[in-house]
């Protein structure tokens, strides 16, 4: 169930009217205390009006109240001056807002505070408050009693997929993503079952009182003995209970039993929550790939990007061994930072070229992206031919993955790719043939969001700064 109320503001004098509308709305809600949310809304409105508009007559705000069965979301959208919200989502945020007012104060007043870049439509700041009781606004009645966290955690079961789980997984994905999730097999119960039976996917599920309330999965790579973690979701009624962490722990145990060399995750850069989860479980952030998240993607039916967002790639290595590599001069320092975070030493390689094609290309229709895999030195004409073929397919992003073990003259390759406007993305551990690759990226669409990338850790913020600078340099 979803109800919404939208108010447009063109003058600061209307802020009391918006707050009055909030007061009227909360009389119909069963939440016992929404006064902190009202304070957060007032702070947010005052800050947006003060900083987004240079003249009073330019004020143009949209305030939207979205009421779902178990939460209230307030979106404040504007087309005013650009604003860098990333400092408010950084690694040290807890220390920063304890003694500060303004936007930092909002973190103390609501359950979640989010920022989103809307491209040509401006930006959105959102307040999210979870209800003590779930209810139906239209009938003005409680729809379900709240679940006690301790009771749920005592009664929860975390296990691997079993026959019959497919239907519950499909329903769970729909509750969280509507029909926007790009891995669409997870809407089809029998396909989920088939994928688990052939071990291309290994699902971990959470059950409470015979109801499937959580899902997390390992997706086996076709090119190496590693797996991607993903399709992670928890029923909205059971959020913020630690269920995702429990599934994550079981996922790691399962991956080790399956003898994968590593697992990796593609955390959304629309918000920092999945990035925080990866770091909490010891993963090493190694790359930022732009344009991997379709603009049609929705989270919990309301978090959505106006442009294709990116993904933060992070790895957990189960068999960490030191590397012998050819590192390109231009990116050597940046790559060594990643290896250092992973606790790996790197020495010069003496490996000969592999018995593989120098170039291979592939496309991903789901993500509308293409990749050229580079295993050895190549003729520029051969690469350009593949590159132009991918460009003309109107793919949004084109990646170049370069083997770091075997290409002695890798500097020549980097120079050629920079000349074609490819720029740094990062390091992919064990990605093909259980070898490491440098990923570079090329933007082939106007719908790719780079400025709205949100990074949680200090390392990640330094990485996106390097990527932006590298992008600017290849365009000169």
Condensed to tens digits (0 to 9), the pLDDT of residues 51-110 reads 888 787 788 889 999 887 778 899 999 988 877 666 666 545 455 444 455 777 888 888
Q: In the prediction, which pLDDT does 392 show? A: 95
pLDDT digits (tens, 9 = 90+) for 82-91: 776 666 665 4
d(CA 37, CA 354): 60
* Domain residue ranges in the chain: 2-136, 147-317, 323-475
Mean pLDDT of the chain: 86
d(CA 151, CA 155): 6
- Percent of the chain whose predicted confidence (pLDDT) is above 90: 51
pLDDT band at 139 (very low <50, low <70, confident <90, very high): low
CB 407 within 8 A of CB 383: no
What's domain 2-136's architecture?
Answer: 2-Layer Sandwich (3.30)
The gap between the terminal CA atoms of the chain, to the nearest Å, is 51
Buried residues in 365-401 as b, exposed as e (16+ CB within 10 A):
eebbbbbbbbbbebeeeebeebbeebeeeebbbbbbb
Q: Going by CATH, does the domain composed of 323-475 fall within 1.10.8?
A: no
Mean per-residue pLDDT for 435-452? 89
CATH of 147-317, picked from 3.40.630.30, 3.40.50.20, 3.30.499.10, 2.60.40.420, is: 3.40.630.30
User: Of 25-29, 157-161, 268-272, which one has max mean pLDDT?
Assistant: 157-161
Mean per-residue pLDDT for 225-240? 88
Please determine, for residue 297, whether its predicted confidence score (pLDDT) is greater than 70: no
Residue 410 sits at φ, ψ, to 5 deg, of: -65, -30
Contacts of 393 (CB under 8 A, 6+ apart): 363, 370
pLDDT band at 41 (very low <50, low <70, confident <90, very high): very high
d(CA 429, CA 432): 9
For residue 104, the tally of other CB atoms under 10 A from its CB is: 17
Take residue 361 and report the two structure tokens written for it: 């290309």
Q: In the prediction, which pLDDT does 418 show? A: 97
CB 433 within 8 A of CB 396: no
147-317 and 323-475 agree in CATH topology: yes
Mean per-residue pLDDT for 275-293? 91
> Model-level pTM greater than 0.85?
no
Please determine, for residue 153, whether its predicted confidence score (pLDDT) is greater than 90: yes
d(CA 207, CA 215): 9
| pLDDT-wise least confident of 35-39, 103-107, 371-375, 425-429 | 103-107
Closest by CA to 42, choosing from 9, 68, 66, 67, is: 9
Take residue 321 and report the two structure tokens written for it: 């061994």
């Amino acid at each position: 169930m979803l109800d919404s109320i939208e108010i447009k503001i063109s003058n600061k004098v209307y802020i009391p009217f918006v707050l009055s509308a909030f007061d009227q709305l909360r009389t119909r809600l069963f939440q016992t205390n929404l006064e902190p949310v009202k304070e957060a809304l007032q702070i947010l409105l005052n800050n947006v009006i003060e900083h987004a508009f240079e003249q009073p007559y330019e004020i143009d705000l949209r305030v939207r109240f979205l009421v779902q069965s178990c939460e209230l979301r307030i979106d404040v959208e504007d087309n005013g001056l650009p604003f860098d919200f990333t400092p408010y989502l950084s690694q040290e945020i807890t220390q920063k807002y304890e003694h500060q007012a303004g936007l930092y104060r909002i973190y103390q007043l609501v359950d979640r505070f989010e920022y989103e870049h809307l491209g040509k439509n401006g930006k959105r700041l959102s307040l999210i408050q979870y209800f003590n009781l779930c209810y139906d606004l239209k009938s003005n009645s409680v729809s379900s009693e709240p679940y006690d966290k301790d009771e749920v955690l005592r009664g929860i079961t975390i296990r691997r997929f079993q026959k019959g789980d497919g239907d519950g997984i499909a329903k769970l994905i729909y509750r969280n993503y509507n029909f926007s999730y790009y891995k669409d097999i997870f809407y089809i119960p029998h396909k989920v079952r088939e994928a688990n039976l052939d071990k291309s996917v290994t699902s971990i599920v959470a059950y409470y009182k015979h109801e499937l309330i959580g899902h997390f999965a390992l997706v086996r790579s076709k090119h190496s003995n590693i797996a991607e973690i993903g399709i992670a979701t928890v029923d909205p009624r059971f959020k913020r209970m630690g269920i995702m962490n429990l599934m994550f722990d079981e996922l790691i145990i399962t991956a080790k039993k399956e003898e994968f060399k590593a697992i990796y995750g593609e955390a959304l850069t629309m918000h920092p929550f999945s990035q925080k989860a990866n770091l909490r479980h010891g993963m090493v952030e190694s790359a930022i790939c732009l344009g991997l998240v379709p603009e049609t993607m929705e989270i919990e039916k309301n978090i959505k990007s106006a442009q294709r967002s990116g993904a933060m790639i992070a790895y957990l290595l189960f068999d960490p061994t030191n590397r012998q590599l050819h590192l390109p001069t231009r990116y050597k320092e940046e790559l060594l930072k990643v290896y250092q975070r992973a606790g790996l030493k790197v020495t010069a390689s003496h490996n000969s070229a592999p018995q593989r094609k120098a170039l291979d290309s592939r496309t991903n229709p789901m993500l509308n992206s293409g990749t050229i895999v580079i295993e050895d030195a190549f003729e520029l004409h051969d690469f350009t031919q593949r590159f132009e073929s991918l460009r003309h397919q109107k793919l949004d992003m084109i990646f170049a993955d370069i083997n770091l073990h075997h290409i002695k003259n890798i500097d020549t390759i980097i120079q050629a790719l920079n000349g074609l406007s490819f720029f740094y993305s990062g390091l992919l551990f064990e990605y093909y043939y259980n070898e490491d690759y440098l990923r570079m990226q090329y933007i082939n669409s106007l719908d790719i969001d780079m400025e709205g990338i949100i990074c949680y850790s200090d390392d990640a913020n330094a990485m996106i700064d390097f990527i932006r600078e590298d992008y600017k340099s290849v365009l000169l």
